A = this chain, B = another copy of it.
Amino acid sequence: MSQYRIFNSEDAIAYAREAAQLGPDMILQGAEIGDGNLNQVFRVCQLGEATGWIVKQALPYIRCIGESWPLTRDRARIEAEILLQHGQSCPEFTVAVLHQDASLSAMLLEDLSELQVWRQALLNGQHFADAPVQLGKYLAQVHFHSSDFCLDYQAQRAAQTQFANPKLMSISEAVYFVDPFCDHERNNVAPGIRNDAERLWADQPLKIRVAKLKHDFRCKGQALLHGDLHTGSVMVAAGKLKVIDAEFGGYGPMGFDVGVLIANLLLNLCSQPSSSAQRQRIKDVQAFWQSFNRQFLLLASQTADPALAEPSYIAAFLRQVWQDALGYAGCEMIRRTLGVAHVADIDNIADADQKIVSQRHALALGRTLIMHADQLNDAQLEKIALACRPQC
């Protein structure tokens, strides 16, 4: 079984049987359970069991669009390598890759069915108090271990080359920094916020800030990013957290991952009519950032190079990561409101006026984060986030 074909359930079962060495006698059942935009995902279980293994397979095109948008299957190999690397840096919070097969564009993953997608938990109003802190630890670990604080020149250059992911990251470049800032055909702009979108497309100072963020996304190869760290890429349960879905990963600025996660918490904030729920999201952002900051400082202070281990150097470095993060958070908020891919937090709002308020809030807060990234600290975020909410 080595020639690529698009898996059906039987293929997924056969691959899982071989990859997990389950033996010919075990009776297995499998079903496609994927809800993502890109790939097929199967759960394969022993008959009568609810939990088993996950088979993830890349198609030669983008699943939600179809064969008209071809996309390299090699993304499956790259994703598996990134997850394995992140798993070495932070096994506690990274989904385990049990097997990968580059020719089938498939991998076998641990089944996390006792966990739920964090975005869904937030939509349900469930609060996982540990998640922001755990995620901060995760990100500090995976960033630190792929950065110049940990790797020497040759090892880091080799990693930058090994994890080059030009096809997928060029999609990120387009959907984060190009499409949402012009009247692009890929955009998905609700009629009720068309005027807001047009004002934003004419906003030259904003676009110049975004140009700098785009430049850094491409040229600032600080760490091996997850590349798509929204609340849908995080699975949670009481005291447990696992990060999945790293196909957009590759070297880039640390602030990108930090900012995308912050933005998704703030998008949830924008979707909340209650100010207490809004405040909780701010607390989540602060807990995430402080956890990342604390953990990174701890790791970096053990760096062999005494200049890099100097607390004032690390502090200045982390200040810059925070500034970058606010800029990228702003881009994520805007692109999730005007671009091709929205978030359920806001799209699911039934009340039309309420939805427009949330979308305007997201645009205004996104713009503010980009324009004032160099002036805001995490304590000021609550005031700013609430002040950006438009009056109904």
Contact = CB atoms under 8 A, between A and B. Distances in A.
B218 A220 contact: no
Determine which residue in A167, A208, A317 has the highest number of CB atoms from chain B within 10 A of its CB, and name it: A208
Interface stretch (A290-298, A307-315, A378-386): A307-315
A210 B307 contact: yes
Given A215-B148, A220-B220, A307-B211, A166 B170 contact: no
Nearest to A205: B312
A52 interface: no
Nearest to A177: B307
A229 to B, nearest CB: 19
Given A181-B307, A208-B316, A221-B221, A166 B154 contact: yes
A307 B167 CA distance: 22
Q: Which of under 10, 10 to 19, 20 to 34, or 35 or more describes the interface residues of A?
A: 35 or more
Provide the main secondary structure of the chain A interface: helix
A156 interface: yes
Nearest to A173: B153
A161 B164 contact: yes
B170 A208 contact: no
A152 B169 CA distance: 11
A152 B166 CA distance: 10
Given A154-B170, A211-B305, A148 B310 contact: no
A157 interface: yes
A316 B208 CA distance: 10
Interface string A299-325: 000000111101011001100000000
A181 B316 CA distance: 20
13 contacts: A154-B167, A157-B164, A157-B166, A157-B169, A157-B170, A160-B160, A207-B306, A207-B307, A208-B310, A211-B305, A215-B308, A215-B317, A219-B220
Given A153-B166, A154-B167, A204-B310, 9 more contacts: A152-B170, A153-B169, A153-B170, A207-B306, A208-B307, A211-B310, A211-B313, A219-B221, A220-B221
